[in-house]
Copies of this chain bind each other. A is one copy, B any other.
Amino acid sequence: MSKEITSRSEDYSQWYNDLVIKGSLADYSAVRGCMVIKPYGFALWENMRDALDKMFKDTGHVNAYFPLFVPKSLFEAEEKNAEGFAKECAVVTHYRLKSNPDKKGALMVDPEAKLEEELVVRPTSEAIIWNTYKNWIQSYRDLPILINQWANVVRWEMRTRLFLRTAEFLWQEGHTAHSSAQEAVEETVKMLNVYEDFVENWMALPVIKGVKTESERFAGAVDTYCIEALMQDGKALQAGTSHFLGQNFAKAFDVKFSDKENKLDYVWATSWGVSTRLIGALVMAHSDDDGLILPPRIAPMQVVIVPIYKGEDSRAQINAKGQELVNSFKAAGIRVKFDDNDNSRPGWKFAEYEMKGVPVRIAIGVRDLENNVVELARRDTKEKTTVSLDGLTERVSALLTEIQQAIYNKALEYRNSHITKVDTWDQFVETLNGKAGFISAHWDGTAETEEKIKEMTKATIRCIPLDNEQEEGKCVLTGNPSKQRVLFAQAY
């Protein structure tokens, strides 16, 4: 095998990069912090996007598209939002290049083509969208607005990682407008539930739903709800967020509506998003030292069939059977590839599809055909079995469902065994050093303590779980009284 990957125990971070690159999901690019999403990675994203898009539409949302650029004066209108994103935004200042007189064939920014007002490349679209909603909303009859946008955004991060943190990334951002606080909060929670449903049932990744502390809130939000997942190195990863924005953006952009009694009030808002970062979570949650492990429901290829030829005679016979299987699988809605490429040997192909995380591999040789069987290999457990060709499609279909559940169960078991209740500071530090995942501990509710813990341990409060039990206790750091435990972890 030419494509060796670093093992998790050796270097988790390098293992991750190896998987992304050698699993053909993405590649580095010539642009600092930006990546190329390769066809295999993009096919994965398309499956995720299509599933989410359907869920959004089924809950009454429609798609639209707003400009990439945000004029500086709009960008700065909602003060907290502006403050939160100002430090990491790409700014367009000119609209033309011209020949560089000092260097043949080279171009330079044309100083005469300076924009009157700088344009920020959207890091998020609340500003440009609420500035537009202002023109669309007069009365309660114009509400709610339930719009989603699939788009690219740019945040100029200093330290980037493929998928997890890139300067440009793809995402969806929902932006809704409502006539009451209650309706907006309900929308916020509804979309959090949609994310939970998607991440658990499509990505096979269990999540904890919760609310962020004030320090971890989205810039400009009244409340940020989140789903948090656990990676195999014990670090948490925020997999999606849904924000109740109150009337902050309506006030910043002066968006009012008249209610049924003809009384004017500011409009209530939510926004919610998930991004290509989810692909990073997927890779880190399920994969092993031999490559990716993809849940069948979103895998670009669910089944690969590898023919094992012995001489030219068997070829036609095997190919005919292979094609028959492909047709039968496709008819059953299974995404399948028959790999009859002559340039590589079966062993090389096995390793390649293992690397790419194809859930089920079928090998057919001439002896198998004589015995009316094939070899079936599961990517997740590496189990191999010899099974009859009779009823194979139904069997594979059931197996895909079984694998989806097995991957989820494994991740759930891992996650559940990595939540530790901790009551002293020593235990807290010890548990963290042991990469034990989430720590459930009391906290005194102050931003100061939260910040101090972060400085000392790099652990942050991931969330206050939605279904949290109330329990009297003492803050793990300060000993001050606390009414509930919160979830700490180091995080991506």
**Residues of A that sit less than 8 Å from B by CB:** 27, 29-31, 34-39, 41-43, 45-46, 62-72, 74-76, 79, 82, 86-99, 105-107, 109, 118-121, 128, 131-132, 135-136, 141, 147, 151-152, 154, 156, 168, 170, 343
Please, which residue of chain B has its CB at the minimum distance from the CB of A157? B95
Please, which residue of chain B has its CB at the minimum distance from the CB of A100? B76
Offer 8 A-B interface pairs, CB within 8 angstroms, sorted by A: A30-B128, A39-B62, A68-B154, A79-B105, A91-B96, A91-B97, A93-B94, A121-B121
Q: Which residues of B contact A95 (CB under 8 A)?
A: 88-91, 156
**Most chain B CB atoms below 10 A, which of A36, A128, A156:** A36
| Known contacts A89-B95, A90-B92; A29 and B66 CB within 8 A of each other | yes
Task: Pick from B31, B42, B119: contact of A128, CB below 8 A.
Answer: B31
Min CB gap A120→B, angstroms: 7
Pairwise interchain contact A92-B64, C-beta atoms closer than 8 A:
no
Pairwise interchain contact B156-A67, C-beta atoms closer than 8 A:
no
| Known contacts A31-B119, A75-B107; A65 and B42 CB within 8 A of each other | yes
Pairwise interchain contact B89-A97, C-beta atoms closer than 8 A:
yes
Task: Pick from B38, B89, B343: contact of A64, CB below 8 A.
Answer: B38
Copies in the complex: 2
| Known contacts A29-B132, A91-B92, A93-B91; A152 and B68 CB within 8 A of each other | yes
Min CB gap A330→B, angstroms: 14
Min CB gap A481→B, angstroms: 38
Q: Which residues of B contact A35 (CB under 8 A)?
A: 67
Task: Please report the C-alpha to C-alpha distance between residue A63 and residue B170 in the assembled complex, in whole angstroms.
Answer: 14
Q: Which 3 A-B pairs have the closest CB atoms?
A: A34-B67, A39-B62, A37-B65
Q: Which residues of B contact A34 (CB under 8 A)?
A: 67-69
| Known contacts A64-B36, A109-B118, A119-B31; A97 and B72 CB within 8 A of each other | yes
Task: Pick from B74, B79, B91, B97: contact of A109, CB below 8 A.
Answer: B91
Pairwise interchain contact B96-A343, C-beta atoms closer than 8 A:
no
Pairwise interchain contact B86-A30, C-beta atoms closer than 8 A:
no
Task: Please report the C-alpha to C-alpha distance between residue A39 and residue B129 in the assembled complex, in whole angstroms.
Answer: 13
| Known contacts A76-B106, A128-B30; A96 and B152 CB within 8 A of each other | no
**Interface of chain A: mostly helix, strand, loop or mixed:** mixed
Q: Which residues of B contact A29 (CB under 8 A)?
A: 66-67, 128, 132
Min CB gap A107→B, angstroms: 5
Pairwise interchain contact A170-B93, C-beta atoms closer than 8 A:
no
Min CB gap A247→B, angstroms: 18
| Known contacts A36-B132, A42-B63, A62-B39; A71 and B109 CB within 8 A of each other | no
Pairwise interchain contact B119-A107, C-beta atoms closer than 8 A:
no
Pairwise interchain contact A96-B92, C-beta atoms closer than 8 A:
no
Pairwise interchain contact B67-A42, C-beta atoms closer than 8 A:
no
Min CB gap A275→B, angstroms: 13
Task: Pick from B64, B79, B120, B168: contact of A97, CB below 8 A.
Answer: B120
Please, which residue of chain B has its CB at the minimum distance from the CB of A97? B86
Task: Please report the C-alpha to C-alpha distance between residue A45 and residue B41 in the assembled complex, in whole angstroms.
Answer: 24
Min CB gap A312→B, angstroms: 21
Pairwise interchain contact A76-B64, C-beta atoms closer than 8 A:
no
Q: Which residues of B contact A147 (CB under 8 A)?
A: 39
Pairwise interchain contact A27-B79, C-beta atoms closer than 8 A:
no
Task: Please report the C-alpha to C-alpha distance between residue A76 and residue B92 in the assembled complex, in whole angstroms.
Answer: 18
| Known contacts A31-B69, A79-B105, A107-B82; A62 and B43 CB within 8 A of each other | yes
Pairwise interchain contact B343-A141, C-beta atoms closer than 8 A:
yes
Q: Which residues of B contact A170 (CB under 8 A)?
A: 65
Min CB gap A131→B, angstroms: 5
Pairwise interchain contact A92-B121, C-beta atoms closer than 8 A:
yes
Pairwise interchain contact B31-A168, C-beta atoms closer than 8 A:
no
| Other 15 A-B pairs with CB < 8 A, given A31-B70, A31-B71, A86-B107 | A27-B135, A29-B128, A30-B128, A39-B63, A45-B65, A46-B63, A68-B121, A82-B107, A86-B96, A88-B96, A90-B119, A91-B96, A91-B97, A93-B93, A97-B118
Pairwise interchain contact A86-B68, C-beta atoms closer than 8 A:
no
Q: Which residues of B contact A135 (CB under 8 A)?
A: 27
Q: Which residues of B contact A45 (CB under 8 A)?
A: 65
Q: Which residues of B contact A99 (CB under 8 A)?
A: 86
Pairwise interchain contact B107-A67, C-beta atoms closer than 8 A:
no
Task: Please report the C-alpha to C-alpha distance between residue A74 and residue B107 in the assembled complex, in whole angstroms.
Answer: 11
Q: Which residues of B contact A92 (CB under 8 A)?
A: 90-93, 121
